[in-house]
Structure 1
Amino acid sequence: CQSCAQNLITITTNGNGAHAMESDVTNIATCATRTFTCIGTLANIEGGQGTIMDADDGAVDGVATFTVTCNTAGTAWVNTGIDITQVECASKCLTCPSNLISITTASTGGHAMDGDVIDETTGPCLKRTFTCEGKGANIEINGDHGVITDESDVASFTLTCNEDGTAWMYNGVAITQVECAPLPACKMCEQNLIMKTTNGNGAKPFAMDTTDTSGTCAVRTLTCVGNQANIEEWINRSFFQLNNGDGTTDPPLVVTCNAGGTAWLFMGIPITQAECAV
């Protein structure tokens, strides 16, 4: 009873959420005993005795164990008088199907994900990472109820399979739809489309230059501060002093990114140069 072969038990990984045992340890005493350990959320071990659950040892700790003993003839591993010939370790949070999430391409510029990878090796539960690439790339989730963005033009979004294997979760929210799309072009005007100069008499740097992308298109505000401050804009090869201060207020120049993302517009006119002066 100290000589049962290891291959008398087949360790399978056939079912949903099945994965390798965390450990398989044999101890030699009067007769050999062999203990299988399975780790994972709602870990369980399926064998000839049915299913050994995480909580069967009195603690829900993500660990299920199953011990068998070599019989007197050394021909079988036994648990409560039953020959055990097969065992399998599984975790519920390793069973989320891919089709629990719809990947759509409905928005303007929407396209297939550049990456959709399911990771079974990092942590006890399945991880799924979507990657969207492109200028101003973002990932819309659950019907545009949230947007994942990244300034490097690569947006990534990682989800975790829940304990029941019934949903992919992000910050406690079940995600059922994702879409890869770039930001609208009218939110992507470059700052250098307007040259800020300091050439004229009294010219000085702008006190503030802020861009707001919370609306439909990007809106940029340049503010000139000082006594009798004014902003000169370059329009059709000429400077126009369109924003005059009254000595008590600072005149802003408010421009909007055009539909193509190629120009900042003031009253429909592209502004290519601006100067703050007092």
Structure 2
Amino acid sequence: KLRSSMTFPSMTYLQLLTVCLVGVADACMKVMPPEPGMPSGCPSVCRDALISVTQNSAFSKAMSSDLKDNTCTTRTFTCNGPSASILVNGQDFNDGPPDDAVKLPVTCNKAAVPPRWEFMGAEVTQVECTAAAECPWKCADDLIMKVQEQPPISKPMDGDVKNPTCTTRKFTCIGDQASITLNGVGNGEWSDEDDGNLDGMAIFEVMCNAEAMPPRWEFMNAPVTKVDCTAAPAAPCADDLIMKVMETNTAAAMSVAFAGDTKNAAGERVLTCSGRTPSIVINTNMGEFADANDGAVDGTATFTLTCDPMGPTWEYMGAPVTKVDCTNAK
């Protein structure tokens, strides 16, 4: 028989057993992990089980992640994959432009009786992650080239996703005056309103013709081989490059609010100052632009600036303008 070399003087068998059991229990308490997705020490007011995470459809899959914040008041579901989507209470949830990743944040309404998880005030009881299966590609992605051939209006395509059966492919172009040029300039264009919604997004869908030799992507039976996302470029000169201040208060004049601040079709910025004797003070001491300086004495001083994108700076007659003050006679 094996014997331990350790001795426990003046300790009974019962005392020794008690010490061992307490030690084991203490060790167990220290290594017990928190509930998955739950930060340790977080009170679970809204239990995980209040939302059923299902996999009922043919294209459903396990949720990519299910995490809570440190206070356990916000829970975020993430579904990744081709044409990813999250069904919420049986309805499709859209978190923005298609990007093969969907995030659904829900919050715990502790005041409800009983407490519940909500999204935008509506109770959430069921979620399901769906994504397209890995398809045997009959219509390969590279049968359509995504190009940027029209600088400065060309930009990267914002979305390129396929449906779960890989038979359709949807391109999304986002921006001011968004449009998708088809098969090169002059061969067709799909604009924002062509998809039925004037919402800053041009959404263009093609279908895979697997029977063609060779297979090809088509729109209304015509082959599509090239797409170019275009949108009006953002103005290089931000509005805040010019400070509109109210620094004048003399015996003769005082600062008033500008009557207008707009941009014309040429991209110029037009500031208007109105009143009995309006004038615009430029860069504090650079000079003044009075009512008569715009060619008409009509109670409005109209001051037009151009954008120098190399600065970028707003300029008047080649000189940078960084501060303006609309003044009027007292």
TM bucket, shorter chain? 0.3 to 0.5
* Greater RCO, CA 8 A, separation 6+: 1
TM-score w.r.t. length of structure 1:
0.46
Bigger proportion of residues as helix: 2
Bigger proportion of residues as strand: 1
